């Protein structure tokens, strides 16, 4: 399914022309395709069907309520990492018993909130977390299912900063510590240890990295069962990569599904995965307008009205995102570096993108921006968070509006003593 395509020379999101959206909403903005989101979710649901794997969408990839709701309606749960994400998942209608709470540093307040909400599972990553969960669950007289996230010491992931499964990464527990905590948890009244979890990184396209991590989980499961413990659930994490370059291939879903079938068969456990990026990356674009063209030495710059604060992936991870002009042109292509107005040399959205000769006022689109785009944005340089739009067929909805400058400043306040100091 192609969500973003040219019709009569103009780029559309489903049946809506991006020129029209730019005129109505103003640039920059994120635009998501509902059909593309549904399409990806259905592909994944079909692929994991044979292993009866549960899917908890990693909300961190795109936590707009409309996106969570759409995926939740299709039966996906939510993998969350903060109270804010739990609240978002609940507000979007995801039932509490489909919410999985991951993360290396959950606070006591967050754990209390999660347990009182009756969520499905907490993935434990530190020894103190188990103690806290035990106390909170007892105080609330509620039962909570927990799994222990192991660090499998497997290097994977598209970039140093998104690799999480190596021994010296901050994530997960050493296998022997996870075993010790599991045993300890069996003695707690309100805590039910049911299994183990792993998540080795993001933007992974190497099936052998997943397989290596899964093997560690299976070995561990067998060891715990040999001790007489019941291990009924394995959470295999997220990380499934996407193709950002035009000539790049995704890991075929059939291969990933085969891997899940294999783990299901060997472990007999109920499986769960936590995909984020794979579901949403390709379903979103960032639309921006060229503000100025300038030449710096032999480099041609298009200075656009979106910036690193709106999409930080290129500068933070040297990530590649394709740039598509909204108006197709037959002009010869010129290497053009697309940069924002933020006062940092790193404020670059694409280096030497092959583009027709752009002019001030032209619209361009940054592709594959549905994951880790809007969620990672900030108000740096006094810039407003950009709106998010959801398109379905020929209709669109603003699913997050642009704040006013007053709203952006509303949480700040001036200390009373500044005027006292002036007076003194």
Among 86, 124, 133, 162, indicate the residue that binds ligand LLP (CB under 6 A).
Answer: 162
Distance between CA atoms of residues 304 and 288, nearest Å:
6
- Name which of 162 and 342 has its Cβ closer to ligand LLP: 162
Chain-centroid distance, C-alpha 383: 23
- The DSSP call for residue 385 is P
Any residues with CB less than 8 A from the CB of 259 and at least 6 apart, and which?
Answer: 207, 210, 211, 214
Gap between the Cα atoms of 293 and 317, Å rounded: 25
Pick 301 or 317: Cβ nearer ligand LLP:
317
Q: Closest approach of Cβ 239 to ligand LLP, in Å?
A: 4
- Provide the sign of the torsion angle of the four alpha carbons 113, 118, 119, 120, taken in this order: positive
CB of 244 to ligand LLP, least distance (A): 10
HEC string for 77-139:
EEEECCHHHHHHHHHCCCCHHHEEECCCCCCHHHHHHHHHHCCCEEEECCHHHHHHHHHHHHH
Of residues 226-255, those binding ligand LLP (CB under 6 A): 237-240
Q: Which segment (43-51, 261-269, 274-282, 322-330) binds ligand LLP by CB under 6 A?
A: 274-282
User: Residue 19 Cβ, how far from ligand LLP at the closest point, in Å?
Assistant: 28
Q: Is the dihedral of CA 63, 65, 67, 70 positive or negative?
A: positive
88-147 residues in contact with ligand LLP (CB under 6 A) are 102
- Out of 110, 125, 129, 274, which residue is the one contacting ligand LLP (CB under 6 A)? 274
Q: Decide whether 62 or 365 has the Cβ nearer to ligand LLP.
A: 62
The 10 Å CB-count burial string (b at 16+, else e) for 115-149 is bebebbbbbbbbeebbebbbbbbeeeeeebbbbbb
In the bound complex, what is the minimum distance in angstroms from residue 227's beta carbon to ligand LLP?
A: 26
Q: Which of 61, 67, 234, 257 is the binder for ligand LLP (CB under 6 A)?
A: 61
Bridge pairing between strands 191-197 and 233-235: parallel
d(CA 419, CA 200): 52
By CB under 6 A, residue 277 contacts ligand LLP: yes
Judged by CB, which is closer to ligand LLP: 61, or 188?
Answer: 61
In whole angstroms, what is the distance from residue 350 CA to residue 304 CA? 11
Cβ–Cβ under 8 Å, residues 35 and 14: yes
CB of 405 to ligand LLP, least distance (A): 28
Q: Contacts with ligand LLP: how many residues (CB under 6 A)?
A: 21
- Catalytic residue (one of 343, 411, 423, 424): 343
CA distance 420 to 82: 39
Site string for ligand LLP, 339-378 (x = CB under 6 A): ---------------------------------x------
| Known catalytic membership, residue 343 | yes
**Can you say whether residue 191 is alpha, beta or left, with left for phi > 0 and alpha for psi between -120 and 50 degrees?**
beta
Provide φ and ψ at 26, rounded to 5°.
85, 150
Choice between 376 and 385, CB closer to ligand LLP: 376
Taking CB under 6 A as the binding criterion, the range among 27-35, 195-203, 260-268, 331-339 that sits at the site for ligand LLP is: 195-203
Smallest distance from the beta carbon of 79 to ligand LLP, in angstroms?
5
Tell the smallest beta-carbon distance from residue 201 to ligand LLP (Å): 7
Among 202, 267, 288, 315, the residue binding ligand LLP under the rule CB under 6 A is 202
**Catalytic site positions:** 343
Question: Which chain residues interact with ligand LLP by CB under 6 A?
Answer: 58, 60-61, 79, 102, 162, 199, 202-203, 237-240, 274-278, 313, 317, 372
């Amino acid at each position: 399914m192609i969500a973003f395509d040219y019709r009569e020379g103009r780029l559309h999101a489903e049946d809506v022309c991006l020129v029209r959206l730019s005129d109505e909403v103003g640039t920059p903005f994120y635009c998501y395709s509902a059909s593309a989101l549904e399409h990806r979710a259905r592909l994944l649901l079909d692929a994991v069907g044979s292993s009866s794997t549960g899917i908890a969408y990693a909300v961190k990839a795109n936590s707009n309520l409309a996106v969570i709701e759409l995926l939740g309606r299709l039966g996906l749960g939510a993998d969350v990492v903060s109270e804010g994400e739990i609240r978002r998942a609940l507000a979007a209608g995801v039932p509490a018993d489909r919410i999985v709470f991951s993360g290396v540093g959950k606070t006591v307040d967050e754990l209390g909130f999660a347990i009182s909400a009756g969520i499905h599972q907490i993935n434990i990553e530190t020894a103190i977390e188990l103690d806290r969960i035990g106390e909170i669950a007892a105080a609330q007289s509620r039962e909570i299912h927990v799994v222990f996230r192991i660090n499998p010491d497997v290097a994977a992931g598209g970039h140093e900063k998104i690799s999480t499964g190596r021994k010296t990464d901050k994530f997960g527990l050493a296998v022997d510590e996870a075993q010790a905590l599991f045993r300890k948890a069996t003695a707690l009244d309100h805590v039910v240890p049911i299994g183990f979890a792993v998540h080795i990184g993001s933007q992974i396209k190497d099936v052998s990295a997943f397989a290596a991590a899964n093997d560690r989980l299976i070995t561990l499961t067998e060891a715990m069962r040999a001790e007489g413990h019941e291990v009924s659930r394995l959470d295999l994490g997220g990380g499934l990569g996407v193709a950002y370059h035009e000539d790049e291939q995704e890991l075929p879903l059939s291969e990933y599904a085969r891997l899940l079938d294999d783990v299901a068969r060997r472990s007999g456990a109920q499986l769960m995965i936590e995909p984020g990026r794979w579901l949403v990356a390709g379903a979103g674009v960032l639309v921006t307008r060229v503000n100025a063209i300038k030449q710096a030495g032999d480099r041609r710059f298009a200075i656009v009205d979106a910036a690193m604060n709106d999409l930080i992936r290129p500068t933070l991870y040297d990530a590649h995102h394709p740039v598509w002009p909204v108006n197709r042109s037959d002009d010869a292509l010129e290497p053009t570096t697309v940069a924002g107005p933020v006062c940092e040399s790193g404020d670059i959205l694409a280096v030497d993108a092959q583009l027709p000769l752009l002019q001030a006022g032209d619209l361009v689109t940054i592709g594959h921006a549905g994951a880790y785009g809007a969620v990672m944005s900030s108000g740096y340089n006094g810039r407003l968070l950009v709106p998010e739009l959801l398109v379905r067929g020929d209709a669109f909805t603003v699913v997050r509006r642009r704040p006013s400058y007053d709203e952006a400043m509303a949480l700040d306040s001036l200390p009373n003593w500044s005027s006292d100091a002036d007076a003194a």
